[in-house]
Amino acid sequence: MQTVFYVKNMVCDRCKMIVSQSLQELGATLLSVELGQVIVASDNSLNLEKVKNALEKNGFELIAGKNEILLEKIKSILIDFVNPDIINEDENISSYVSKTMNRDYALLSKLFSKTEGLSIEKYVINLKIEKTKELIQMNSLSFSEIAYTLGYKSSSHLARQFKNQTGLSMSEYKNFQDWDRKSLDQIV
């Protein structure tokens, strides 16, 4: 037997590590830890309230509602979609989400827009802008390389989106060095 927990605000490998440690401290036997989802071996001694409290202490939340679970899965998939190691330039957002979720994209998009107040495409742009800020801070890639890394066909397209979202050009942002970045779980 196993128990599946859906966890809000898991957005990176460090989050997976913290959630894993929190559950192991409670004596849970972890079977799988993915963004937004943890599977543990069922154990009657694992108290749901203790799990909830341990996660909340570290900035995470248990998700119970069906739509909330679906939204967190979509967000996790979109975070993966903008990951430079995963980006496939030949695949668009709708086919990627639909294929990964094994559901109709129109239904998922409607649920996402209704609940979050913005489209999936706008959410992906926000994710890419935050990833661009991170890559600018790292100062290891040129603006053209950043655009290519994030799946843009041209650096001018990224530059326009960056300016529209932040009010600064990428050069101004780099020189300003008062970096205003949002964590991925705060993007909406």
Asked if 24 and 69 touch (Cβ cutoff 8 Å), the reply is no
Q: How many helices (H) and strands (E) does the chain have?
A: 9, 4
Residues in the chain with pLDDT < 70? 44, 86-90, 179, 182-188
Contacts 24+ apart (CB under 8 A), 163-170: 165/125, 165/126, 165/129, 166/129, 166/133, 170/132, 170/136, 170/143, 170/146
CATH number of 65-188: 1.10.10.60
Position 120 scores a pLDDT of 94
Instruction: Quick: pLDDT tens for 90-125.
Output: 678 899 899 999 999 999 999 999 989 999 999 999
Residues of the chain with CATH 3.30.70.100: 2-64
Topology adopted by domain 2-64 = Alpha-Beta Plaits (3.30.70)
Strand-pair partners of 32? 39
Distances (CA, A) of 122 to 52, 118, 126, 129, 188: 31, 6, 6, 11, 9
Cβ-based neighbour number of residue 85 at 10 Å? 6
Dump strand ranges (E) for 61-135: 61-63
Residue 5 neighbours by CB under 8 Å, 6+ apart: 37, 38, 39, 40, 51, 62
Pairing status of strand 2-8 against strand 37-41: antiparallel
Dump strand ranges (E) for the chain: 2-8, 30-34, 37-41, 61-63
SS3 4: strand
Residues of the chain with CATH 1.10.10.60: 65-188
Pairing status of strand 2-8 against strand 61-63: antiparallel
